[in-house]
Amino acid sequence: MIDFLFDYATLRVIWWVLLGVLLIAFAVTDGFDMGVGALLPFVAKTDIERRVAINTVGPVWEGNQVWFILGGGAIFAAWPALYAVSFSGFYLAMFLVLFALILRPVAFKYRSKRDSARWRENWDWALFIGGAVPALIFGVAVGNTLQGVPFHFTDDLRPIYEGNLFGLLNPAAIFCGLVSVAMLVMHGAAWLAFKADGVVADRAAAIGPKAALASACLFAIGGLLVYAGFLGGYDVTSPIVWDGPSNPLHKVVVEQGDAWLGNFRDEPWLWLVPLLGVVCPLLAAIGFKARKAGLTFLASKLAIVCIIATVGVAMFPIILPSSTNPSHSLAVFDASSSRLTLRNMLFATVIFLPLILAYTAWVYHVLWGKVSEKDVRDAGHAY
């Protein structure tokens, strides 16, 4: 059993799963932070209302971003070729995301440094940018990944990227960006309905059903686009050697319009994942209407899990397809670090990930309860 758990093929699949877990954890936790920022101009009209919304995420947003750092670190250590291609090819897009993510903590820290309405309003718009821009760009990145990224490798495995920022902003990718925005706005509204009190929660509960319905409809339309071949599709046609060397040049990949549906055809039970990706936002919409904040937030989290998991399940075993030379696409079985690296990283993960989860759970337990206008006025440490 021990040998099985630590053979090269199994370690590769484990780290593919762990990468998905880290990215989903980031979307579920920091996703409602971004959603609250994107909703800020619409759910809060006065300064005290904006402070209520901000203070629902103020104590936890820094910890939530840890998952983004862990995800980037996992890509760097476990999938170095993926890190090299994606962080180089998507450099300008990543720069926009990092700019927005850096702008957000600055806005949190500086908005209350001066007792000026104009000063605070400007920083509140910075929070809006810090929430809406990453939500859009992350979805655009997924859309480009589904279509294939214009890169290839030289004979010595040096990656060559042939695209640009404007190429990334194509209609299909922007559509995926809208799915992401709708999903995270739904999640932010669910969080505000759950955590805020008063008029802020009421407005969030009114906006939430619209965002939830938009998430379900856009995701379903996305599935139809995949079925019609508009979002691309790639399939490995050569024999897969799961314990072979990490060299993406030793396989044959072809572009096929409906290839992303192959895993669902082979394993019909996997259709449950995208089905829940449609059903859970609808359940969240019902929860908003019924003012069941806890169940709504749970349905929103499950919707994010299933929507993101659908992409991973559809693409497996491909991680990043190449549109210019499909056979140079990066796959789970040929783009990882060494067996020793994956094994040692897994040991560290088994030790430290439960500690991170336990600490995170403890923080949310300590900070349990709603944020009201009275709480914000009375607390001298509030944002």
For the chain (383 residues), the mean pLDDT of every run of 10, in chain order, is: 72 95 92 93 91 89 85 90 85 86 88 85 92 93 92 89 79 94 97 93 95 97 89 90 91 91 94 97 96 95 97 95 94 93 92 90 86 78 69
Question: CA 315 to CA 344: how far, in whole Å?
Answer: 27
- Residue 369 pLDDT: 84
Does residue 383 sit within a domain? no
What pLDDT score was predicted for residue 5? Answer: 62
Total domains in the fold of the chain:
1
What is the pLDDT at residue 23? Answer: 92
- Contacting residues for 163 by C-beta, under 8 A, at least 6 apart: 89, 149, 150, 151
Domain with 161, as residue range(s), is 2-378
Residue 98, token pair as written in the block:
């990092």
Residue 105 near residue 62 (C-beta atoms within 8 A): yes
Q: What pLDDT, on a 0 to 100 scale, did the predictor assign at position 373?
A: 82
Identify whether 317 is preceded by a cis peptide bond (ω within 30 of 0): yes
Q: Is residue 308 in a domain?
A: yes
**pLDDT value, residue 1:** 47
Q: Tell whether 224 is covered by a domain.
A: yes
Distances (CA, A) of 246 to 233, 242, 335: 22, 10, 5
